[in-house]
Amino acid sequence: MSRSPGRKQENHKISRELFVLTYGALVAQLCKDYEKDEDVNACLDRMGYSIGIRLIDDFLARSAVKRCRSYSETADMIAQVAFKMYLGVTPSVSCNSAMGNEFSLILDKNPLVDFVEELPAERASLCYCNLLCGVIRGALEMVHLAAEVTFLQDRLKGDAVTEIGITFLRKPEDRKHKRN
C-alpha cells in the first residue's frame, strides 16, 4: 500500500496543533499552581531552558549547519533554520546595537498563540510564550554562547508584533580559544 503524498504534511499540522493545545493547557495549569505571574514566567523559562539544552543536539544533527562565525550569523540561523524547523515560521531579524550583540526576532505569526485570543486582565504581566526564551537561551548555552533572551513585545499584550530580544553577553573575541 502506498501513502498519499499529503499525509506527512497533515500529520505535521496535527502534531503542531496538538503541541499548541497542550502548551495552552500547561500554561493554564501553571497559572492555577502559581499566584504570581513572575513565578509562572520563571517556570516557563526553566522548562524552556531544559528543552533547549536537549533540543540543540537534534537541531545540529537534523540541520547539518556549519559553525556560525558571528552573532549575526547565529541570530539568522535561529530565525531561518531553527524556528522554521520546529515551529514552521520564519521571524525577521534585526540588529539592535552598534556592538552587534543585540538582536530582535520579530514574529508576524506566533504559532503558540493560535488558540489564544487575549490574556485575562488579572494576568497582565504573564509572558505566555516565555518557554521560547528559555529554549533559545538553553540551546545557545550548549554551544557556549551566553545570552539573555526576553520578550520585548507581545501581541497578546496589545503590541503590533511579537518580538524576542537576544543579547549575547560576551564579546566575540571572548569566544575564541587559544590553541597551544
Where are the domains positioned within the chain?
16-168
Mean pLDDT of the 151-169 span: 93
- CA–CA separation, 151 and 165 (whole Å): 6
Q: Which residues contact 32 (CB under 8 A, 6 or more apart)?
A: none
Q: Is the pLDDT of residue 142 over 60?
A: yes
Query: Which CATH superfamily hosts domain 16-168?
Result: Trafficking protein particle complex subunit 3 (3.30.1380.20)
Mean pLDDT lowest among 7-11, 55-59, 77-81: 7-11
Please give the pLDDT value at position 9: 53
Q: Which residue has the cell 530565525?
A: 79
Q: Is the pLDDT of residue 172 over 60?
A: no
C-alpha closest to that of 155 among 107, 97, 99: 107
pTM: 0.86
The SS3 call for residue 171 is coil
- CA–CA separation, 67 and 71 (whole Å): 11
> What percent of the chain has a predicted confidence (pLDDT) above 90?
66
Please give the pLDDT value at position 121: 87
At what angle are helices 37-63 and 7-33 packed, to 10 degrees? 150
Q: What pLDDT, in 10s, does the model give residues 87-122? A: 889 999 999 898 899 999 999 988 899 888 888 889
Report residue 154 as a C-alpha cell.
507581545
Q: What pLDDT, in 10s, does the model give residues 19-62? A: 888 999 999 999 999 999 999 999 999 999 999 999 999 999 99
Q: Is the pLDDT of residue 171 over 80?
A: no
